[in-house]
Chains A and B, each alone.
Chain A
Amino acid sequence: MAALPKIRLIWLGFTAALMALTLWMVFLWVPTEINQGNIQRALYFHVPVAWTAMVAIVLIAVASVAYLKTRDEKWDRLAVAGAETGVIFAALMLITGMVWAKPVWGVWWTGEAKLTTTLILFFIYVAYLMFRAYFPPGEQRRRLAAIIGLIGAIDTPIIYYGAQLWERAHPSAVVGPYSNNDSSVDGPVGLTLLVATIAFSVLFVYVASERYRLRKQEDEVMALRRAISLQALRVATTSDSTESISSAPAGGA
């Protein structure tokens, strides 16, 4: 128990250092993009956040399969940590995407395939978390949640394919010099994006592991409560029986 906080602190320091490096690169080092200007710097937040949200789905899928195979609670904890952190990252991806789209495309929302996919996945994993909140804790909840998590993961490529078809069928209501967003991702831009992605991945691991720890504590509390109520029950039943034995003659007399 004593060694654990040290690792966490080191990891936190590592995350902070990488984040500081990312900030420096994003705001001071990488040159301004010629078409969009400064707002293009949103890329270095938006894309890494989106990337980690996708990693979260893979994590949920792997953890769910592993849980169904091994029935080890740790996999379930990992899936919860992945889902909750993933929902946070997906929400951030959506918000940053919308705030970026408004000045560049003139609209808050477009039918862009990746945005649509993330929105739907966001809803699926919110439902996953709500299911866990509604269902009484226990083996059944873990098992059913793993099934939902897996169905969501299986759905991901299908949703993406559908969203792409949709985007092609409904050209977005976006025109103008900023509509083609295919700015090249090489040189300093690519390097900054790479560093930012690594930094956000490290941050994701940190946040998810904190959530994992919290989940473990919750389980511990539950186990302790059960132990205490069992103890109380045992005390109550034993004292009950001694009482009835001792009171029986008294009542008889």
Chain B
Amino acid sequence: MRNFFVLAFVALTALALPSVAMAQSAATSAASDGNTSGVITVIQVDSETNLVGFVLSTQNGELVEVSVNDSTSFGLENAAGDRWVSDFGEDPTEALLRITDQRERFAPVTVTVADGVASAVVDREQGDLERNLGFLFAIYIVTWAGFFAYIFIVSRRQSDLAREIKALTSQVG
């Protein structure tokens, strides 16, 4: 019984790998609506050096111009891993600093655009389909490893106890 569980676990894990690969090939055509990803090339500021917009260079080499307003939300991590989440209206200076930092590092961002105005600016990493497959695999493996470890422990305890019951019953006789 115990060997069966180990075998089943290995088999399921092996099964997961091609499945994930196949799922990946099916996904490349899925584009996201209203979301544009790319590297920031130009930052536009007004006369009082307030951020008004920026230009994105997308993967296909297109240049997309977006502007920001007070309700644009930002979710950006700097090189130190410090994540800043806020609306543009809350702290325009910090937004400009973050966008500049993003441009200097050539760190790609994903922007949700509606009518040329960005409603959200976040790290591109979040939307990276290929990277996420690692996370998906982790979810899958954790779920199964959890079950099999538990069932393995339970079934081992069961067979131990079954042996003990046998021994004890013969003693009581």
A interface residues (Cβ-Cβ under 8 A, vs B): 16, 23, 27-28, 31-39, 41-42, 45-46, 49, 85, 88, 91-92, 95-96, 99-100, 102-107, 173-179, 203, 207, 210-211, 213-214, 217-218, 220-221, 224-225, 227-228, 231
Contacts and interface: CB of A to CB of B under 8 A. Distances in A.
Contact of B164 (A31, A35, A45, A221): A221
Contacts of A99: 135, 138-139, 142
13 contacts: A32-B26, A33-B30, A37-B27, A38-B129, A99-B138, A100-B135, A103-B125, A103-B131, A106-B75, A175-B122, A177-B32, A217-B165, A227-B172
Interface of B: 8, 12, 15-16, 19-20, 22-24, 26-27, 30-35, 73-75, 77, 83, 85, 110, 112, 120-123, 125-129, 131-133, 135-136, 138-140, 142-143, 146-147, 150-151, 154-155, 157-158, 161-162, 164-165, 168-169, 171-172
B135 A177 contact: no
Pick the most buried of B34, B74, B122, B126: most chain A CB atoms within 10 A of its CB: B126
A176 B146 contact: no
B23 A96 contact: no
Contact of A38 (B27, B77, B168): B27
Pick the most buried of A34, A178, A218, A225: most chain B CB atoms within 10 A of its CB: A178
A176 B8 contact: no
